[in-house]
Structure 1
Amino acid sequence: MYPFTEIIPLILKSFLQAFMDPQFWPVFLLIVGLIALQYQRMGRLRESFFHQKSGRAWADVIMAAGFGLLGGLAGSFLMVFIGLTLSGPDLIYLWPVAILLMLINMRFLCFAYSGGVLAVSSLLLGFPQVNIPQIMALVAVLHMVESILILVSGHLGAAPAFIKAAGGRVVGGFTLQRFWPIPLVVLAVAGTGAVQGVVEMPDWWPLIKPDVPGELHNLVFYLMPVVAGLGYGDVSIARSPVEKSRLSALHLGLYSVILLILAVLAEHSRAVTLAAALFSPLGHETVIYISRRIESCGEPLYVPPARGVRVLDVSPDMAAWRAGIRSGDIILAVNGLELTDKNSFYQMQQETFLPLLVDYFSRAAGENRRRLLVPAGPGGWGLVLVPEGNENKYVELWTTGPLGRLLKGFWRKFRS
């Protein structure tokens, strides 16, 4: 392991030097800008529930950039340890195919799908000529980094939503959406021959052989900066956002480890290569299916209680938050008057500006509490209650693209 103790400072140095390169900043800022648009859209969703501007979009962007830096550093170490070399036409094909698949469904804007399509096409049709183990390893490492980021920050900024569950019932829940700019330091082949001042790597390295001519032991590699973007989207209905993000991270981490093992073994077997190519999209779909199944089969948390009204979400630093009310709590009475539905609660909220005595059940503490709530004007309580009965507005969980809608239209006409 001695060579890796030498190369760690080189990775850190190259990672920091990337931010001093004028060519690095335009791409990095472009991805940060696209991520900022996503967080602004999510902010508008929260505003539609709380009827007030949150002003947290840029705070979310800054936080995402911070987590992205840590994720990029972890990904850089993984790629160098594996010996994953980004060279050849692989990346040239990945993005166009991913964008084309996005037109069918938004979740297909992921290298797990475009990488799988390219790999299967290369194996069966001979076009395009790509390094399949290299592409599969890239998909695995990016999803491994994503699983780490989901674990530590996937629950942050969860937005309340009304979600259509099994049987057509609309229940309360949260949409979990996070986006991260990922600066990476990756390997590229500089050439062959003896060079002074290089680090000699072990004989087993690299695990993923580069698709370049020349003897492997004579190749010289160098570190170069690239920028990627990662995104996570999920919903929590039967679990809290923290519990759901941890479970999603576990499933995605397991998927990435299996795919990485297949990518390493693919160099020695065409059958394993095909298995890796198929597992990339199908395994990812399995992770999504399991996530949907867990939520649809579980008992929804955010539904009306037998008595009182249940809280879906609380806006931080507003009156209800300062009174200690949190998501999942049940408001039983206000000024001694028991609540029967959320309409009576909202009407009371609009009509009074005086301090109120609120009786509620704290889910975290498992006990009834009484607190003084001081409203800050109309809409100043900062509460969203769970839906009751059928709601006209609810969140579409999976967005179909224009090509997907067109194909569905043709299929309906064909069946009729």
Structure 2
Amino acid sequence: MFPFIDITPLLLQTVGAALTDPLFLVVVAVVALQYWRMGKVKESFFGLKPRGLWRDVLLATGFGLLGGVVASYLMVLVGVTLSNSGLMYLWPLAILLMLIDARFLCFAYAGGILALSSLVLGWPQVSVPQVLGLVAVLHMVEAFLILVSGHLGAVPTFIKSPGGKVVGGFALQKFWPIPLAALIVVGHTSGPAGGISLPDWWPLIKGGLADNADNLLYTLMPVVAGLGYGDLAAARTPEQKSRISSIILAVYSMILLVLAVLAAQSRLLAVAAAIFSPLGHELVIYLGKQLELTRPPLYQPPVRGVKVLDVIPGYPAWQAGLRSGDIILEVNGMQVSSRQGLEFALGIYPQIQLTYWSARENNVIREGIEFADRHMLGILPVPEGNEENYMELSTNGPIRRWFNNRLRKQR
């Protein structure tokens, strides 16, 4: 058994090699494109370009690097190798599934289908414990990244509640480029030097991954991956929702990892693990939605005042201390109760003093605001319920949209 301190230099060196891979720059560019698109959504709400695009990209890259190191240690810990994991099949299958529904662009679905195909049809020849172990580890890292950064950069949006009323909320969308150090088989113990000998506590390998596992020699290979997270916060703050989502996803990952280890013990357990991979992930999504529906919407008009959905950093409202969830009560002593009333009050006074209730401090605050030349205040009030523009909560892919359109035409 080797301690982690022995593997750390090689692991960090391999992760560093992944950072220099041109593919990593491609993934970072894709991440930047996604954040640019999110910025355009904010622009449509606020009417001006938000700041900090490259800051968001650098933060995502930094968190991705942290997640990559964590994932690398986890894969070494449980003995996940890429040599028999079916990775060459996972990506094409995941992309194909995405054409049906965007949420299927996830190894939980592709991995489960691949494992079932191998068990039932005998093709492709892959190790079911390794495939599902890889899925479990990647989702563990995703849960960690959601916990530490899933709420950052939440995009304000309007959605239609089940009751038909338009309410405010936040689209939680994060993308992380992940540089990894992954185990691969390089030969036998009598083969090339410089490999990693088999430790006694590799559960996925010692559990029956290979008949001659004790005679195999391993090394680390740089790999580039990407992780994404999409969710919606309407009944909770983005911080609360991302925390809950990370816990649910972590529980799913742990159960899947245990099933992956047990899959080496019997065919029945292997089938159960393969079925749990996609269905368990669907349960994660279902629980996330149900937790939002069981509570009343958080971002809807209050009994008194104008509630703030979001505030742009650096603008007058932000400098005055306003944050999401605060309620503007008065402008220079004039009570406001609607978006139109707020805009009217801001337009008639040369000097602005806001009276607002702070959700963070649970207290009423009065603050003067520099509002020279009628610069934008920098807030987005919650919707009043009858807005015509709102975000459609659909992840249908092109194949599913085509199929739905055909069904509507036949009716």
Q: Same fold (TM over 0.5)?
A: yes
1:215 aligns with 2:186: no
> In 1, Cα distance between the equivalents of 2:14 and 2:24?
16
> In 1, Cα distance between the equivalents of 2:301 and 2:162?
16
Amino acid at match of 2:356: Y
Partner of 1:306: 303
Q: Does structure 2 conserve the Cα–Cα contact (< 8 Å) formed by 1:137 and 1:263? A: yes
Report the alpha carbon displacement of residue 206 of structure 1 after superposing the two structures with TM. Answer: 5.2
Of the structure 1 ranges 403-412 and 379-388, higher mean CA displacement relative to structure 2 is found in: 403-412
> In 1, Cα distance between the equivalents of 2:208 and 2:26?
30
Query: What fraction of aligned residue pairs are identical, expressed as a percent?
Result: 54
Q: Does structure 2 conserve the Cα–Cα contact (< 8 Å) formed by 1:169 and 1:389? A: yes
Partner of 1:132: 128
Q: Does structure 2 conserve the Cα–Cα contact (< 8 Å) formed by 1:192 and 1:214? A: no
Q: Does structure 2 conserve the Cα–Cα contact (< 8 Å) formed by 1:308 and 1:341? A: yes
> In 1, Cα distance between the equivalents of 2:222 and 2:204?
21
Aligned residue among 234, 240, 245 for 1:243: 240
Aligned residue among 32, 38, 42 for 2:34: 38
> In 2, Cα distance between the equivalents of 1:141 and 1:338?
54
> In 1, Cα distance between the equivalents of 2:3 and 2:307?
58
Amino acid at match of 1:12: L
> In 1, Cα distance between the equivalents of 2:400 and 2:207?
36
Amino acid at match of 1:6: D
Partner of 1:16: 16
Task: Identify if the C-alpha distance between structure 1 residues 120 and 284 changes in structure 2 by more than 3 Å, giving closer, same or farther.
Answer: same
1:269 aligns with 2:266: yes
Q: How big is each residue's C-alpha offset from its partner over 1:79-111, in whole Å with a ceiling of 9 and x where there is no partner?
A: 011111102471111111111111111111111
Amino acid at match of 2:289: R
Amino acid at match of 1:300: P
SS at match of 2:296: coil
Task: Identify if the C-alpha distance between structure 1 residues 266 and 190 changes in structure 2 by more than 3 Å, giving closer, same or farther.
Answer: same
Amino acid at match of 2:167: V
Task: Identify if the C-alpha distance between structure 1 residues 340 and 199 changes in structure 2 by more than 3 Å, giving closer, same or farther.
Answer: closer
Report the alpha carbon displacement of residue 163 of structure 1 after superposing the two structures with TM. Answer: 1.1
1:158 aligns with 2:157: no
User: What's the TM-score, normalizing by structure 2?
Assistant: 0.95
> In 1, Cα distance between the equivalents of 2:139 and 2:373?
46
> In 2, Cα distance between the equivalents of 1:244 and 1:97?
30
> In 2, Cα distance between the equivalents of 1:140 and 1:210?
16
Aligned residue among 86, 94, 100 for 1:98: 94
> In 1, Cα distance between the equivalents of 2:39 and 2:18?
31
Amino acid at match of 1:406: W
Report the alpha carbon displacement of residue 132 of structure 1 after superposing the two structures with TM. Answer: 1.4
CA RMSD across the alignment: 2.0
Partner of 1:339: 336
1:315 aligns with 2:295: no
Aligned residue among 319, 322, 326 for 1:325: 322
Partner of 1:390: 386
Q: Does structure 2 conserve the Cα–Cα contact (< 8 Å) formed by 1:354 and 1:374? A: no
Structure 2 runs not aligned, ≥5 long: none
1:231 aligns with 2:233: no
Q: Does structure 1 conserve the Cα–Cα contact (< 8 Å) formed by 2:18 and 2:224? A: no
Of the structure 1 ranges 34-43 and 387-396, higher mean CA displacement relative to structure 2 is found in: 387-396
Report the alpha carbon displacement of residue 213 of structure 1 after superposing the two structures with TM. Answer: 7.3
Q: How big is each residue's C-alpha offset from its partner over 1:22-72, in whole Å with a ceiling of 9 and x where there is no partner?
A: xx1x10011111111100000111111221111322111110000000000
Q: How big is each residue's C-alpha offset from its partner over 1:202-243, in whole Å with a ceiling of 9 and x where there is no partner?
A: 334352369997722221111110000000010111111111
User: What's the TM-score, normalizing by structure 1?
Assistant: 0.93
> In 1, Cα distance between the equivalents of 2:273 and 2:389?
41
Partner of 1:284: 281
Aligned residue among 31, 52, 57 for 2:53: 57
Of the structure 1 ranges 186-195 and 94-103, higher mean CA displacement relative to structure 2 is found in: 186-195
Report the alpha carbon displacement of residue 329 of structure 1 after superposing the two structures with TM. Answer: 1.0
Report the alpha carbon displacement of residue 5 of structure 1 after superposing the two structures with TM. Answer: 3.2
Aligned pairs for 1:60-79 within 5 A: 60-79=56-75
Task: Identify if the C-alpha distance between structure 1 residues 352 and 69 changes in structure 2 by more than 3 Å, giving closer, same or farther.
Answer: farther
SS at match of 2:389: coil
Q: Does structure 1 conserve the Cα–Cα contact (< 8 Å) formed by 2:146 and 2:229? A: yes
Aligned length: 410
Task: Identify if the C-alpha distance between structure 1 residues 89 and 151 changes in structure 2 by more than 3 Å, giving closer, same or farther.
Answer: closer
> In 2, Cα distance between the equivalents of 1:115 and 1:199?
27
SS at match of 1:10: helix
Task: Identify if the C-alpha distance between structure 1 residues 62 and 385 changes in structure 2 by more than 3 Å, giving closer, same or farther.
Answer: same
Structure 1 runs not aligned, ≥5 long: none
